[in-house]
Amino acid sequence: MISPHGADRLAPRIISDELHRRELIVLAASLPAISISSTAATNAVMLGAGYFSPLSGYHDRSDALSIAREKKTTSGLFWPVPCLNMIHEAPKLKEGDRVALRDPNIPGNPVLAVQRIEKIEQFTYYDLLEIARAIFGSVDRAHPGVANFLNSGTTVLSGPVDVLNYSYFEIDFPDTFKTARQIRSEFERRGWDRVVAFQTRNPMHRAHEELCKMAKASLNADGILIHMLLGKLKSGDIPADVRDHSIRKMVEIYFPANSVMVAGYGFDMLYAGPREALLHAIFRQNAGCTHLIVGRDHAGVGDYYGPFEAQEVFREHASREALKIKIFEADHTAYSKKLGRVVMMRDAPDHQPDDFILLSGTRVREMLAAGESLPPEFARPEVAEILMRFYQR
């Protein structure tokens, strides 16, 4: 199986030994505690689940700036987006302390992890702007990722973490949330060596379904990992439970048996376009996938990125050298009325826009809210029914 990123073995930071975990829980009760941001909390979940291997904890200021400038840490590890614990102030904390990190996403804010603080540093205003521009391609606060980053505070707590649980993800999505190691184990059980991953934060329509099938056939893959983000999204995006239900229904009816694994991971969407696409590739390499589908406007939002900018970043020398996972470059995919099937638009150069069935997200939401059926060429009726119930509710 493909090796994890930057190491021969996964390095999950979850405390799996129950006795050790209980000891840490008791210790945490006597430690200074801080309630961290949702971003820092999901970073801890990803560290715990092995998706951030080989990282052991949160980056410091110098690593964050090095990643922003060169896509690598000061030690030379290829990494596209800093893993940070940013807070507004750190009273009574000092370097060398251990601190209990409280989960902002669960009522009562239980302890999620214990961090050993190696450094307490401050981002300057210019640091924040430099990092935001490098990661998000913008400093516009209308960009949801930029706004979240710039509002996270300027104090940076770096150092290794011991993760005690997977927050609400293993509670709310017991059948879907999977760690990198669990996914690797399932691939081994199924006998899958060549696996193509599909990243999604949205429900899957006919075009997504057929794209997965195209990639599997083109790559002669053993299977497909449909890997959905389970964390926070921007306003207007479909909640994870609705997506989960609709995707599972589509897979159940329209994919051959034992050709797809549906799983989810506990991370908040960054909307960082090309940089987030690189991070997605690391997640999937750590989970044992050999290929990742990267299509039009991957991890994008609005018009902040070029339509295929996320594909272009994988062609850079550093990306090619650092990543073992390969990319399946996909074009915009839609149903062709001329050909009677879903195609990638680049494969139909003789088509005009009216030859495709294309619906904007706004139009889809309007139709579903009004109880109007989506064209079966655009969405499977079983999927459309689930989404219609959500929008009408």
**Does position 248 have pLDDT exceeding 90, yes or no?**
yes
pLDDT value for 364: 87
Q: For residues 250 and 261, give the distance between their C-alpha atoms in angstroms, rounded to a whole number.
A: 12
Rounded to two decimals, the pTM is: 0.95
Given a contact cutoff of 8 angstroms between Cβ atoms, the answer to whether 115 and 160 are in contact is yes
Sort strands 291-294 and 195-200 into parallel, antiparallel or unpaired: parallel
Phi first, then psi, for residue 252 (nearest 5°) are -60, -40
Do residue 56 and residue 198 come from a single domain?
no
pLDDT value for 327: 96
**Does position 368 have pLDDT exceeding 90, yes or no?**
no
Query: Can you tell me the mean pLDDT for 304-326?
Result: 94
Do residue 194 and residue 336 come from a single domain?
yes
**Does position 66 have pLDDT exceeding 90, yes or no?**
yes
Instruction: Give residue-wise pLDDT tens across range 131-142.
Output: 999 999 999 999
**Does position 91 have pLDDT exceeding 80, yes or no?**
no
Q: Which position among 202, 248, 296, 365 bears the catalytic label?
A: 202
What residue numbers bound the domain in which 155 lies?
18-167
Do residue 332 and residue 235 come from a single domain?
yes
Residue 6 within a domain:
no
Sort strands 155-163 and 86-87 into parallel, antiparallel or unpaired: antiparallel
Which residue has 């999620």 as its token pair? 112
Do residue 162 and residue 203 come from a single domain?
no
Q: Which position among 13, 201, 206, 243 bears the catalytic label?
A: 201
Do residue 198 and residue 330 come from a single domain?
yes
How many CB atoms are located within 10 Å of the residue 337 CB?
13
Domain closes at, from 115, 136, 167: 167
Q: For residues 120 and 6, give the distance between their C-alpha atoms in angstroms, rounded to a whole number.
A: 26
Number of domains forming the structure of the chain = 2
Residue 9 within a domain:
no
Instruction: Clarify whether 202 is annotated catalytic.
Output: yes
pLDDT value for 235: 78
Instruction: Give residue-wise pLDDT tens across range 105-116.
Output: 999 999 999 999
Token pair, residue 190, equals 């199924």
Q: For residues 214 and 216, give the distance between their C-alpha atoms in angstroms, rounded to a whole number.
A: 6
Do residue 112 and residue 246 come from a single domain?
no
Name the percent of the chain lying above pLDDT 70.
Answer: 100
Instruction: Clarify whether 69 is annotated catalytic.
Output: no
Sort strands 119-122 and 155-163 into parallel, antiparallel or unpaired: antiparallel
Do residue 383 and residue 350 come from a single domain?
yes
Do residue 290 and residue 196 come from a single domain?
yes
How many CB atoms are located within 10 Å of the residue 177 CB?
24
Residues paired with 328 in a beta bridge: 293
Of the candidate ranges 31-40, 87-96, 163-172, 302-311, the one whose mean pLDDT is the lowest: 87-96
Report the chain's mean pLDDT, rounded to a whole number: 95
Do residue 212 and residue 94 come from a single domain?
no
**Does position 236 have pLDDT exceeding 80, yes or no?**
no
Q: Residue 286 is part of a domain; what is its CATH number? A: 3.40.50.620
Residue 11 within a domain:
no
- Nearest Cα neighbor of 171 from 270, 242, 264 is 264
Instruction: Give residue-wise pLDDT tens across range 185-229.
Output: 999 999 999 999 999 998 999 999 999 999 999 999 999 999 999
Do residue 333 and residue 369 come from a single domain?
yes
Residue 67 within a domain:
yes
**Does position 273 have pLDDT exceeding 90, yes or no?**
yes
Do residue 45 and residue 192 come from a single domain?
no
